[in-house]
Structure 1
Amino acid sequence: MTKNLNQYVDIYKKALNKGEIEIAYVALRKFMSTLRATFIKNAPQYTCGTVFPGYMDYTYFYFYDSYLKEKQLRFGLVLNHQKMQFELWLLGRNEKVQAGYWELLKDSHWNSKLNEKPIYSVLSITLLADPDFNDLDSLATPIWQATLTHTRDIEDDLRTHSH
């Protein structure tokens, strides 16, 4: 027997009343804002968007430089809530742009393990699969360092293969 929406809302309400989900969610969103501020400080070549909270699935912010803007692309630094990991996504301005870059990059090493385009991006890289949230002060550095390494590599590949 499937549950109706009232049953799901009741489960949601009970979980929220415990207070643990709200504490974790607020802390994760705050950390993403801190990560964005750290990124702006350490990567001034990029323009950063605001932190989008998502729907308890992904919390993320976009960033791009002049090259990406010209190509109608941007990166997303993403906290995947279900996997509880940090990811780097390459995104197109719209579905048509994403489809074109998927064709360009689908056989690249970035997508070697995929048979079809990711739902929301052209490519997705796991930056940190098992973050230690008990040490938030140390958590930002490996994320932004990995992000900068991968963004340089991806942009180099784009410049080599781009149309």
Structure 2
Amino acid sequence: MHFDPALLETYRTLLQTTDLQRAYQEFIRLFRFLRTELERQLPDFRFQSSITENAMDYAYFSFTDSGLKEKGLKLVVAFDYHRFLLEVRLSGVNRTAQCRWAEHWRDCPPPMELTTDPDHTDFVVRPLVETELSDGEKAAVAVKEAADRLLKIIP
């Protein structure tokens, strides 16, 4: 197997000439804090045991309660690296459930976004979370408020 030497050299240069590694570690510390803080604030929900990283495309963790689980839904806190945005997503527990729920909502309350392709996206509905990431407590409040907004639209 062969790998792109120019990309590997770029990666080496970034690691050696920038604070990329420390910046990434700080982001992971923030994201773990959000997960832990939400778990503390939402004791009735069951949280995924750790955060999941997806090759710097996005990082996420999910949580659910018995009502959501019964309906085939879960909440996901995701960070989109490319857009540098934090989101809370209402997602199906699998593609079948997700497609069923996408059919249920023809539109959703603004400023939430409804998926246009539930077979190929990882959400049914998502609001953007506007917050200053460097303030962990404010970020946790903003994420919880977005989750609360999503929970209110579920029949």
Question: TM-score normalised to the size of structure 2?
Answer: 0.83
Residue 124 (structure 1) aligns with: 126
The separation in 2 between residues aligned to 1:59 and 1:25, in whole angstroms, is 12
- TM-score normalised over the length of structure 1: 0.79
Where do residues 52-63 of structure 1 align in structure 2 (5 Å cutoff)?
A: 52-63=52-63
8 Å CA contact retained: 2:85, 2:128? yes
Deviations 1:41-89 (A, max 9, x none): 1111111102112221211110001011111210101122122221011
Q: Does 1:150 align with 2:152?
A: no
Aligned residue in 1 for 2:36: 37
Match of 2:76 in 1: 76
Q: Which amino acid aligns with 2:144?
A: Q
Q: For residue 64 of structure 1, what is the aligned residue in structure 2? A: 64
Paired with 1:78 and 1:144, the residues of 2 have a C-alpha distance of: 10
Verify the 8 A CA contact 2:115 2:125 in the aligned structure 1. no
Cα distance in 2 for residues equivalent to 1:125 and 1:152: 12
Deviations 1:93-137 (A, max 9, x none): 221211111111232326876672362111221012x5242x34x
Q: Is the 8 A contact 1:29 1:53 kept in 2?
A: no
The aligned length equals 150
Residues in 2 aligned to 1:6 and 1:86: alpha-carbon distance in whole angstroms: 32
Q: Between Structure 1 and Structure 2, which shows a larger proportion of helix residues?
A: 1
Unaligned stretches of 5+ in structure 2?
none
- The percentage of aligned residue pairs carrying the same residue is 21
Find the aligned partners of 2:94 and 2:115 in 1 and give their Cα distance: 21
Do 1:74 and 1:90's aligned partners in 2 also have CA atoms closer than 8 Å?
A: yes
> CA 1:110–1:158 in structure 2 vs 1: closer, same or farther (change >3 Å)?
farther
Indicate the residue corresponding to 2:88 in structure 1: 88
Runs of 4+ in 1 over 3 A off after TM superposition: 110-115, 138-141
Provide the rounded CA distance (Å) in 1 between the counterparts of 2:24 and 2:66.
33
Q: Report if the CA contact (8 A) 2:108-2:114 is conserved.
A: no
Contact 1:85 1:131 in 2 (8 A): no
Structure 1, gaps ≥5 residues long: none
